[in-house]
Chain A
Amino acid sequence: MHAALSPRPPHAPAAVPPDVAVVERLFQRACDLMQQGRHVEALPALDRLRRVPTPPPMALGLRAEALLALGRTTEAVADVDDALAADPGSSALLQLRSRARRAGGDRTGALDDAAAAVLADSASPAAKALLGTALLEQGQHDEAVFLIGAALRADPANPQYRFALARALSETGHHDAAEEILSQHGIERPDLPVAALRAQNALAADRPDLAAALAREALASRPADASLHAVLAHALMRLRDLDGAAAHLLSASRLRPEDGYLAHLAAALNGDTTEQGAEAYATALFDRYAPSFELSLLSLGWRGPGLVRRALERLRPGLAAGTERLGPVLDLGCGTGLVGVALSDLLGGGLTGVDLSARMLEQAARKGVYTALRQANLMTVLREAQPPCDVIVAADVLIYLGQADEMLALCRRRLAPDGLLLFTVERGADTGMGWHLERSARFSHGRAYLERALAAAALDVVEMREEVLRLEDDGMIDGLLVAARPAPSGAAH
């Protein structure tokens, strides 16, 4: 539906109220259509019911349902707010708002509402299942399994609860139990991706061979969907069949073209150089990764933070001696804040962290080192007019950015005249454009390209050192640690 651009306040009562028969008809039509799942068709009638002085009580809730189904989550929440004002103790409305908030990204609000829904009606299995799912996403696994299990006991045949429990069990490492539920009959429904979850479960149980077999079987016998192709691709990656994975990622991306994560991964594995989707890829990757990020990074021996600190000590001897402190520091792609920790005792003018992933930032906040944390695209932050920085750090950020030229130019503008830019990259060949999307789905950069890009951004290279950044499955990742400062004249050369 196109948006109305009227300057009038929304939902103002109509000048001439309609008669009862009209309202009744509008409501009846809307109910029928909503029952058939025809949300778009029902919406104009529901919009008009909003304008009636005393609308039928269920009308607001129905409109919220329709808006939610259409992805208009903010409006949906507003409608439920109004409905709850008239009926505060309604578990159904609280559940509806919980779903709407979750869809809008307000996980805390969704959790609160789900809890309130259970309190309002402790017998409602739907409320319990909803709360369980919300708790699962917060990492409270045991409570989640308990609640969803309770919902299922109250309604054992409900395929949605069975699916939710299977998912909860899978995410908490109880793969056999999850498989048992998923392999039962009667759980299949067009809106529940059972086959994909089953394969995903096998993959999480470290059985990529089984995951691949399950996904293949599902693809052969039912409509293909992006999830199945994606799971199969991940299983094949684990089995080192990158060509097979590439083909299925292509299919997955075509079936879900709006998914940047799939698009980026598909492009990487199929040898298309592209920058599109990298942001979505990084967000999705790290949102999922966040709880285990540090553990895995440290086990991979990520040397980034230490390298940055030692470079600063080299270039500002006063820091090592303790006679100097850093001015304002901007940590781009700060993740869980490991760089902040490494520099914590050298800070003097504040530390701002920027990252795409909310979950990473949650962990960074807990370290208590950052004065400010922003969930944003780093380029957006760099473009803002802000006081100059003493140091900008971008550790392992360009590996998800690709072309560096604009970022470097923006960094130069944000740096104080004697400021420093420190960044790490994975070292790549200087052929072609000088930067490449590797099959690992990360970008690599060539030395000569970086030199050119820095010069074009009016940044002088202070150091460009070859360093090993970390270990991966297939060996050590060779990288470059680069330190640069604004060129004195300010002109590009």
Chain B
Amino acid sequence: MQDASAPPSPFRAGLDALAARAPATALPLLRAAAESGEGGAYAGLNLGLALADLGRVEEALPLLRDAAVALPDLAEPWFRLGLAAALRREPTEAARLLDAALARAPEHVPALAARAMVAEADGHPGEAAALLERARAIDPVEPGLLLMEARLLLEQGDAELAASRCEAVLRAHPAQMAAAAKLLARALRAWLGEADALRHVDAGAEADPFSPAWPLAAAHLQVGCGRPETVLAHLRVAEALAPGEPAILAELAHGLMRAGRETEAEPLLREAMAASPGDLDLRNMLASVLWKRYRFAEMLAVLDDALRNFGEHPSLLSNRSLALTYCGRQREGLAAAERAVAISGGELPTLINRLSVLPYHPEQGGAAPLLAAGRDIARRVGPPARVAHGNARDPERRLRVGVLSGCLGVHPVGWLTLAGLEALPADGFELACYALRTRRDWLAARYRARATLWRDVADLPDEALAETIRDDGVDVLLDCGGYGEGGRLLALQHRPAPVQVKWVGVQFASTGLDCVDWMLTDARETPPGFEPFYSERLLRLPDGYVCYTPPPYAPEPGPLPALRNGYVTFGCFNNLAKVTPVTLAAWAEVLRQVPGARLRLRTHALADPATRADFVSRLAALGLDPDRLDLLGGCPHAEMLAAYRDIDIALDPFPYTGGLTVCEALWMGVPVVALAGDGFAARHALSHLGNAGLPGWVAGSVEDYVRLARYRASDLAGLAALRAGLRDQVRQSPLCDAPRFGQALGQALRHAWRDWCARN
């Protein structure tokens, strides 16, 4: 018998900590016990359980397997191994392991529940219901089971009963409140409809104002109603009423992220993760937060850890591909994207993800592979809807032009499309804007002032969005969002408009989709002969495909820095995703050939120490001397422009060239050495430079690129003269000539419209 005053042994203490839901405390104690042999095989088992509770599944698995062998009659190891397999999306294996657990302990309620969930996920609802009944017969009040039953009831259409089950759980089991509230919202909506469900929840809150359950349910009901602040309001009060509850913290973080408030979301997310280490979704959410804040190396670390512990989930792999690409590791990025496609059997999000990292790849970023990737997406989504449009087929009448984008504001889309849209002749065209994100900056105000019709459509699903656009009688729809976050390209599959055109806004290649009729382009982007690279028909504007709005707060270019420095400063203000190893090698060669020259890189990611260190670690191998480099982070826009005052020549990256950065460099008097490939994004720089009157600055090969840079760097007088006149040159060029662009755009859209009228 143990002496009551003696401290408990490590094994006992470890067990107590585990039972008290403190696995972090239990861990060292159980390790000590296992090492000293105390507790026998049970030490190893419980150590495995502690690790699993901490989400360290990879480390837990061998211990659990050992325990299964050492304690063959015990159900627990099999149960835990089954849970891990379910988490890693291995349903057959999970079923096998859980059945083994149940063979040893037929009344193991959690194992029955887990087995039911696996059955349900694998498409056997009848089996799931039977298992659930067994479990409930043993433990009628276990809240997790009640909720599972509620979910099954809801699937079978009995929403009212489902709702009452949820409310029962809410009343009796505060610990399950988050899951119950979420399910309650679904059940109420299905049973009562939106408005009455809200009233029901309101009444609940009125009767019991200090229960977090009601605001939680209200939050879930209000998601997707176009009032993100209201959702946040409910979640805030739920959190205040139930502080530290990981599920609520996670919802709040998610709400803040939806509202673009990542900085506020991050600490909440980390708190939720600490309390709930086994939650995969939280890991992905953290990865998204880090992505938005340009902390790509950290994002990569989070994802690698999640992959080790949770297996090769396609979402993790896709996010990993983004992290790698944006660290400047494009080849690894594409490999991760391809793995996601393979693992998932070509699920649509993985295909879209692949297309979004492909144009950055030094070898695979060409027009042909890009088109193939787009066509893969088209095959996956199937043919577009066949819609009989009621638009009057008069080729010469005034047209309603729709613009669909989440970027109608201070964003590359804004800088490159606003002036052109403002200058569309009002007698021939009126503008309808469909904003996927509400922006309140000064460019956004100008869009609003120009649009006859403005709709904020963030919360509409694709089909409803298409219907809205169709009901508004839009004749020509300009997609300015593409496959990116600021876009809803697949909504075009529902044929919102008779004529659908792809324009600026993640416009890096053909979309591959049959529902996109035209690509708005120019003769430099897509010279004659480039038609096979596009599934769309090419609608070429006579000058360039964009019209640039220079920022009114741009400072003066100032004198050529080389004249005061005594050396040439090359610069690149593009993001690291565009900076490929081949580009870096070319830059290394340029620096070798121009003695004394320096290279200055400026981008947000370089302000993140981890990402910067990762980048720097690869420079030496590519021949770049860090002493000749300045690596700087991002800064507010006016300062960014002013930073060009210290640059003599901009070096453009490839294959994905600069777009807005080229326009800004030129506006600040800095010419750009560029290399043109055959993809659309590979020719952005060519288009802008040609349009601005500097076609001679574009090379056709890497060798030419280096030669060009050296040649231009050797003529300081020429550079100085060019710098002095460049802003005026750009101002007077078609790149900034809004009236000219507006006329041309009008003619192009008219042409597309006439074509449709003739065919219909």
Contacts and interface: CB of A to CB of B under 8 A. Distances in A.
Q: Do A and B bind each other?
A: yes
A224 B445 CA distance: 6
A2 B198 contact: yes
A322 B449 CA distance: 61
Interface stretch (B77-85, B204-212, B474-482, B645-653): B204-212
8 contacts: A16-B208, A42-B236, A47-B209, A48-B209, A223-B440, A223-B442, A224-B445, A229-B449
Interface in A1-50: 1-2, 4-6, 8, 14-16, 18, 22, 25-26, 29, 33, 38, 40-45, 47-48
A222 interface: yes
Nearest to A250: B449
Given A8-B206, A14-B208, A224-B446, A44 B233 contact: yes
A2 B202 contact: yes
Contact of A1 (B199, B230, B236, B454): B230
B203 A6 contact: yes
B234 interface: yes
A254 interface: yes
Nearest to B214: A44
Interface in B231-250: 232-234, 236-237, 239-241, 243
Given A2-B198, A51-B209, A255-B449, A45 B442 contact: no
B210 A16 contact: yes
Nearest to B444: A223
Contacts of A4: 202-203, 205-206
Contacts of A254: 448-452, 454
B210 A22 contact: yes
A16 B234 CA distance: 20
Given A2-B202, A6-B202, A44-B215, A38 B229 contact: yes
A380 interface: no
Interface string B435-477: 0000011100110111110100000000000000000000000
B595 interface: no
A283 interface: no
Contacts of B451: 254
A385 B440 CA distance: 48
B224 to A, nearest CB: 15
Contacts of A85: none
Nearest 8 pairs of A and B residues by beta carbon: A223-B442, A251-B449, A44-B237, A40-B229, A18-B210, A224-B445, A6-B206, A41-B233
A225 interface: yes
A48 B208 CA distance: 10
Contacts of A222: 442
Interface string B126-159: 0000000000000000000000000000000000
Contacts of A48: 209-210, 237
Contacts of A26: 237, 240-241
B552 interface: yes
A6 B207 CA distance: 9
A221 interface: yes
A321 interface: no
A48 B214 CA distance: 12
Contacts of B449: 224, 229, 250-251, 254-255
Contacts of B202: 2, 4-6
B552 A221 contact: yes
Given A2-B202, A25-B243, A251-B449, A224 B442 contact: yes
B222 to A, nearest CB: 8
Instruction: Determine the interface band of chain A, counting residues with CB < 8 A from chain B.
Output: 35 or more
A433 interface: no
Instruction: Determine the interface band of chain B, counting residues with CB < 8 A from chain A.
Output: 35 or more
A41 B441 CA distance: 22
A25 B239 CA distance: 9
A220 interface: yes
A6 B236 CA distance: 23
B207 to A, nearest CB: 7
A251 B199 CA distance: 39
B232 A41 contact: yes
Given A6-B206, A40-B230, A229-B449, A220 B552 contact: yes
Interface in A60-106: none
Given A26-B241, A29-B239, 16 more contacts: A5-B203, A8-B206, A14-B210, A16-B210, A22-B240, A22-B241, A26-B240, A29-B236, A38-B229, A41-B232, A44-B234, A47-B209, A51-B210, A223-B440, A250-B449, A254-B451
A250 B451 CA distance: 10
Contacts of B203: 4-6
Interface string A251-268: 100110000000000000
Interface in B180-225: 198-199, 202-203, 205-210, 215
Nearest to A18: B210
A357 to B, nearest CB: 29
Nearest to B442: A223
Interface string A192-225: 0000000000000000000000000000111111
Interface in B308-335: none
Contacts of B454: 254
A45 B237 contact: yes
A16 B207 CA distance: 10
A51 B203 CA distance: 14
A40 B237 CA distance: 12
Nearest to A19: B210
Contacts of B236: 29, 33, 41-42, 44-45
B233 A42 contact: yes
Nearest to A41: B233
A254 B449 CA distance: 5
A25 B240 contact: yes
A360 B462 CA distance: 51
Contacts of B233: 1, 40-44
B453 to A, nearest CB: 9
A43 B240 CA distance: 13
B445 to A, nearest CB: 4
Contacts of A220: 552
Contact of B207 (A15, A40, A44, A225): A15
Nearest to A248: B449
B232 A223 contact: no
Nearest to B440: A223
A3 to B, nearest CB: 8
A225 to B, nearest CB: 7
